[in-house]
Amino acid sequence: MVSTFLSRIIGLVRVKYIVWLFGRGADADAFNAAFVLPDMISYFLVGGAASIAFVTILTRYREQGREDEGRRSLSVILTTMYLVLGAAIVLAELLAPWYVRWWFNGFDPAKAALCIMLTRILLPAQLCFFAGGVFGSVLLVRKQFSVQAVAPIIYGLGPIVGGLLLVKRIGVSSLAVGTVAGAILGPFLLNWLFAHRAGARYRVILDWRDPGLREWVRLSLPLMAGVSLVTADNWIIAHFASTIGGAVSLMSYAKQLFSAPVSMLAQAAGAASMPFFASLWSRERRYEFATGVADSVSRVTSLGLLCASGMVAMGWPAIDLVFTGGRFSPADARLCSIYFAIFSVSIFLWSAQAIYARAFYAAGNTFAPMVASTIVTVVSLPIYNALFHWRGATGLALASDAGIAMQTLTIALLLHQRRMVSLASLDYAEMGRCLLAALTAGAGTGLLAWGLSDLSRHLPALAALRHARYWTDAVILLAGIAVWTLIVKWTLEKSGSALPRVALRRLGLS
């Protein structure tokens, strides 16, 4: 989680650089929209879970002492998917104009043409992500997580370096070129290098009868055939938002800022827990598996509730401080902060569903969550449509929260029904204490932020300062963090929560 936090700091620097240069203009909309088709190609052909499926396979091979077979299967899967994914990317390059004009039907011709060019630049990076995911699974099985944390940092630096070197020559295309370079150097090269040191060897092998390949297809095919709202949420939002100038960019910025704590809670915890869950299931330790998943869900949900309160209360000064400047105005920041606050309410749901989904994957069952997720996505589409026509882009953020709530509840009920993870095993008492602390701290911090903001407008001395807005935001944030921390700590201690004591012990402070 700490390493993921560092990578997200780089991510915020990247977003800040982009908003400074392009704000919410046509270039920014085209660049943010250009990621949708590559993401779709990766999701539907790789299943969005190359490393997840491969971790399950390699874990079983390792538990059974058949690591040589696992290495051979790695080469077979990589060779096969290079051919399949490579052919799909070539086809997507040819069909990109048709796709952009269909999915982003609100773009004018100039914005659509720019989006087409940027999409074509970004498409080959999917080969790097797939190969990196497979090589990274070799390290995950060995419970080596450091590379998984460093690779996103290198990837995040790519657009920044590309922009610094090339933006004056090729404009927004420099960000796309830098993104591809970051994908090569980070997710692919770093994972390959350390997997090679761990004993993985890639050879060009085509063998349709390889049992590892067949198992990978069996696990991945349901993920390829279905659609999970976890991924489709961004696609749906971009589709509807394309009819509002600048909305694609503003919602993308809000989602990227929101994804920082989500990555720390959901993705980091999910990636770290996956090998342990898979190992427990393969050894038929069902009780430990069930309690381990329930404990993980309880913890990330509790932390998610606390994070949500702080993010909602301090979203406006944080976005104003970080993003405002260049071509990004205070009005843009205000609008972006509204979307961010709405997204933030659901962070505990995003965190819980990431753990629940990996419980299914660790058990080698990808069909049931695929069917459930696809149904949830289809049912959610009318909700996105209705709320978009009711409240515009704000309605899309509300629909996103409603959709992830349905997704989380559905996966949890499936696990409960199959007696894999009981809903009764969740620590409702601790989650309740954290909800109480979240509501109390969120209300107190929100009132403080509003009061300080209102006070700052009536202080002539502050108004005379250079960059008064940034100083005000910084003071509000620092004061808000301090007050939020004190209220959370006091409420948790008074309600009998063990969270503060456990956190201090984990940090080595007690």
**Full DSSP string of 413-432:** HHHHHTTSS-GGGS-HHHHH
Burial class of residue 176 (count of CB atoms within 10 Å of its CB; 0-12, 13-18, 19+): buried
Contacts of 429 (CB under 8 A, 6+ apart): none
Q: How many CB atoms lie within 10 A of CB 208?
A: 9
Does any domain span residue 258? yes
Considering the domain architecture, whether residues 158 and 277 belong to the same structural domain is answered as no
Considering the domain architecture, whether residues 276 and 331 belong to the same structural domain is answered as yes
Pick from 158, 190, 225: which residue ends a domain?
225
Say whether pLDDT at 452 is over 70. Answer: yes
Considering the domain architecture, whether residues 26 and 166 belong to the same structural domain is answered as yes
**Full DSSP string of 71-99:** HHHHHHHHHHHHHHHHHHHHHHHHHHHHH
Question: Which range, of 247-251, 384-388, 473-477, averages the lowest pLDDT?
Answer: 473-477
**Per-residue confidence (pLDDT) for residue 462, from 0 to 100:** 52
Query: Positive or negative, the Cα torsion across 115, 117, 119, 122?
Result: negative
Question: Which range, of 149-153, 419-423, 443-447, 486-490, averages the lowest pLDDT?
Answer: 149-153
Say whether pLDDT at 273 is over 70. Answer: yes
Average pLDDT (113-139) is: 87
Does any domain span residue 388? yes
**Per-residue confidence (pLDDT) for residue 280, from 0 to 100:** 84
**Full DSSP string of 104-117:** TTTS-HHHHHHHHH
- The position carrying tokens 């209360």 is 313
pLDDT in tens, 25-38: 899 999 999 999 99
Average pLDDT (257-266) is: 74
Helix ranges (H only) for 123-228 are 125-141, 146-170, 173-183, 191-197, 211-225
Number of domains in the chain: 2
**Per-residue confidence (pLDDT) for residue 101, from 0 to 100:** 93
Query: What's the rounded Cα separation, in Å, for the pair 62 and 59?
Result: 5
Considering the domain architecture, whether residues 22 and 155 belong to the same structural domain is answered as yes
Question: Which range, of 26-30, 202-206, 347-351, 491-495, averages the lowest pLDDT?
Answer: 202-206
Q: Are 172 and 22 in contact (CB under 8 A)?
A: yes
Considering the domain architecture, whether residues 130 and 8 belong to the same structural domain is answered as yes
Considering the domain architecture, whether residues 188 and 285 belong to the same structural domain is answered as no
Query: What's the rounded Cα separation, in Å, for the pair 408 and 373?
Result: 9
Say whether pLDDT at 50 is over 80. Answer: no
Q: Are 424 and 369 in contact (CB under 8 A)?
A: no
Say whether pLDDT at 212 is over 80. Answer: no
Contacts of 241 (CB under 8 A, 6+ apart): 106, 247, 248, 251, 393, 396
**Per-residue confidence (pLDDT) for residue 457, from 0 to 100:** 65
Does any domain span residue 478? no
pLDDT: which is higher, 378 or 4: 378
Q: Are 449 and 317 in contact (CB under 8 A)?
A: yes
Judged by DSSP in three states, 328 sits in strand
Average pLDDT (34-46) is: 84
Mean pLDDT for the chain? 84
**Per-residue confidence (pLDDT) for residue 256, from 0 to 100:** 83
- Three-state secondary structure string covering 200-265: CCCCCCCCCCCHHHHHHHHHHHHHHHCCCHHHHHHHHHHHHHCCCCCHHHHHHHHHHHHHHHHHHH
Count Cα neighbours of 190 within 13 Å in the Cβ-side half-sphere: 18
Say whether pLDDT at 264 is over 70. Answer: no
Average pLDDT (203-220) is: 75
Domain span at residue 335 reads 227-426
Question: Which range, of 149-158, 192-201, 299-308, 432-441, averages the lowest pLDDT?
Answer: 192-201
Pick from 426, 444, 462: which residue ends a domain?
426
Considering the domain architecture, whether residues 108 and 136 belong to the same structural domain is answered as yes
The confidence band for 509, taking pLDDT boundaries of 50, 70 and 90, is low
Query: What's the rounded Cα separation, in Å, for the pair 165 and 386?
Result: 44
Considering the domain architecture, whether residues 241 and 305 belong to the same structural domain is answered as yes
Does any domain span residue 451? no
Pick from 225, 255, 271: which residue ends a domain?
225
pLDDT: which is higher, 501 or 486: 486
Burial class of residue 217 (count of CB atoms within 10 Å of its CB; 0-12, 13-18, 19+): middle
Considering the domain architecture, whether residues 307 and 366 belong to the same structural domain is answered as yes
**Per-residue confidence (pLDDT) for residue 458, from 0 to 100:** 59
Is the pTM higher than 0.85? The answer reads: no
Does any domain span residue 265? yes
pLDDT in tens, 412-442: 999 999 999 999 999 999 999 999 999 999 9
Say whether pLDDT at 498 is over 90. Answer: no
Highest-scoring range by mean pLDDT, 1-10, 196-205, 227-236, 293-302: 293-302
Say whether pLDDT at 269 is over 70. Answer: no
**Per-residue confidence (pLDDT) for residue 407, from 0 to 100:** 93
Does any domain span residue 455? no
Query: How many residues make up the chain in this entry?
Result: 510
Residue 488, token pair as written in the block = 């959370």
**How far does Cα 262 stand from its chain's mean position?**
6
Instruction: Quote helix, strand, coil % in the chain, to nearest 5.
Output: 85, 0, 15
**Per-residue confidence (pLDDT) for residue 285, from 0 to 100:** 87
Considering the domain architecture, whether residues 205 and 343 belong to the same structural domain is answered as no
Does any domain span residue 431? no
**Per-residue confidence (pLDDT) for residue 503, from 0 to 100:** 67
Considering the domain architecture, whether residues 63 and 154 belong to the same structural domain is answered as yes
**Per-residue confidence (pLDDT) for residue 432, from 0 to 100:** 94
pLDDT: which is higher, 124 or 11: 124
Q: Are 213 and 207 in contact (CB under 8 A)?
A: yes
Say whether pLDDT at 49 is over 60. Answer: no
Considering the domain architecture, whether residues 324 and 356 belong to the same structural domain is answered as yes
Query: What's the rounded Cα separation, in Å, for the pair 256 and 397?
Result: 13
pLDDT in tens, 287-320: 989 998 999 899 889 989 999 999 999 988 888 8
